[in-house]
Chain A
């Protein structure tokens, strides 16, 4: 069985680790001291780039690359730490804030040193009252001990950290929504470009980084790049010649919930498979896995055929899903996929910020269609139409068979794909919330179509046995890329020593 590899969470349960003195006993701030004593700011940026650190908040964008976009000649620059954590199924940042807030402060200090930033805002979701209290207390202690404020440790470095509460809106987790919200406005995302790295909060260059991403920094600096890159797989991206390394390095705070015996946060090296993670989390609660959501509710669903998918950025992208925030939600054989989709669509319909017409109207529309189906009123066309395909004579045309049309299912897919098209990956909206809506809608429908059809046919929620409910990968073009990974045809793991 795969072993937990606790790095960020190693000292999480040490009593009083939230206090400065205890944190100091466990190497606390030593890594920051090492950074300022031994490295120039640019060295740190290079280390982060070489370590292959990817953002843990959702997009999985290379942190080093993001830092390289920040213009160094515009003052002041800002760091916004994203502690909005609202993606359903995600709960790892909460424990950092509540139990080990000094680790986050150390990460912020290292980032500020590397980027020449003097002001950081930690945007904490409004419901995290305890987390905010603990972080505020830790910030106060850090000021008192000379690790924050003016001229830190006599180096001339100035850093201020302020916590900033949100007020219950999911969309403020999106980086530009966060920035708008921080400026005291409605949290409505901005058009990009300009990207926040160039023009962010108060129109100044801004680095937006998730809590977990920042907490990785002390360990990269403290233990070195070589140590860090030994964790997790590095693939070879053969789309370029010569192949470029595609790192999925480090650990991930996997949050697992739903039908497992021991839900919780498990820190593991990136790259273990879905079934391995379920084992680590005490095994399945139930008989069989019906479906797994691998990266928060926005991620396309995986079927029981796909449980050997490795939970890292690259593998999940190839499986046409995403690692997202690392929130894994497991569903067993008793679950009804239509019902699950309804729950998720209610969430998105509630959380759309309302700026873009396709999202504002499309999302409630999708919800209403799913509601109608779940209520047993799904529309089915009673006429059967000729089924087109490759006919007996080998030509395209009428196959002589007939098929039933499930009007609402076609409508569902069409409305969702008009918010954001999951096949072309183009969206008609300002932010990628649109994709977060259509990805689940379309993937649930395509992968579990028989269950949707049965529900419409019978006029009530029907939960089919797993084998009948799931569309096999060969028949489903949503899986296609997984089996014909053209660009990644030679995707390989380098030998591990």
Chain B
């Protein structure tokens, strides 16, 4: 990644609270690089998604190359390299949820939000025009007993039906 590219982005640095958390994190491991995943989670929480500037900053903090950070970011589905909606809706579509009709819930979400499902390389495809929601399919969320399930940001919603989806969306948009 050339320096020129990086400079177009607004530079990134941890705010005070996250800096404190980062300092604590780094002490947990014998090598700095091991703090990579928690650091990226922290940075994503602050910046919304992983921009080139974030990668550069994280690389500096952990004393590794930017390429190494990029390498990690591209491997894990939970790190976004594009902007996402305020609420990220993850719908599980693996077998136990499929046996409990997750398809109905998915179709309902698609019509209600009037959007397609995001793909890993095209998050915009699943993001609503107003930038409020991003809809994506994920694999088993380890809640198959209460299938079908969705996660909205950090919260899990269980035993979903189209009616329950309506309630959830109404609460989020109000």
Contacts and interface: CB of A to CB of B under 8 A. Distances in A.
Interface of A: 85-91, 93-94, 125-130, 160, 162, 164-170, 181-187, 202, 255-259, 263-265, 293, 297, 327, 329, 331, 335, 340, 343-344, 347, 350-351, 353
A473 to B, nearest CB: 24
Contacts of A129: 154
B107 interface: no
Interface string B115-148: 0000000000000000000000011111111110
B94 A343 contact: yes
Contact of B75 (A87, A183, A186, A257): A186
Nearest to B77: A168
Interface string B33-46: 11111101100000
A88 B62 contact: no
B17 interface: no
Given A259-B99, A329-B96, A169 B75 contact: yes
Contacts of B36: 184-185
B77 A202 contact: no
23 contacts: A86-B139, A86-B142, A88-B94, A89-B140, A89-B144, A126-B41, A126-B76, A127-B90, A162-B28, A164-B37, A167-B77, A167-B78, A168-B138, A184-B33, A184-B64, A185-B36, A186-B75, A202-B30, A257-B99, A258-B99, A329-B95, A329-B144, A343-B98
Interface string B62-97: 101000000110011111000000000010011110
Contact of A165 (B34, B41, B77, B142): B41
B145 A264 contact: yes
B31 interface: yes
Nearest to B32: A184
A318 B77 CA distance: 37
B13 interface: no
B144 A255 contact: yes
Contacts of B154: 129-130
Contact of B95 (A256, A264, A343, A350): A343
Contacts of A170: 139
Contacts of B47: none
Contact of A127 (B33, B72, B141, B145): B141
Contacts of A293: 95
B156 interface: yes
Contacts, number: 137
B67 to A, nearest CB: 12
Nearest to B62: A184
A170 B78 CA distance: 12
B99 A335 contact: yes
A128 B142 contact: yes
Given A165-B38, A181-B37, A343-B95, A93 B142 contact: yes
A257 to B, nearest CB: 4
Contacts of A182: 34
Which residue, of B77, B90, B145, has the highest number of chain A Cβ atoms within 10 A?
Answer: B145
Nearest to B30: A202
A81 to B, nearest CB: 14
B102 to A, nearest CB: 10
Interface string B130-174: 000000001111111111000100101000000000000000000
A329 B37 contact: no
A255 B134 CA distance: 31
A202 B28 CA distance: 13
A265 B146 CA distance: 11
A257 B76 contact: no
B72 A186 contact: yes
Contacts of A187: 75-76
B95 A91 contact: no
A266 B97 CA distance: 19
Contact of B34 (A126, A184, A255, A257): A184
Contacts of A347: 94-95, 139-140
Contacts of B147: 257, 263
A483 B16 CA distance: 66
Contacts of B143: 91, 94
A88 B139 CA distance: 8
Contacts of A164: 37-38
Nearest to B41: A165
A35 to B, nearest CB: 25
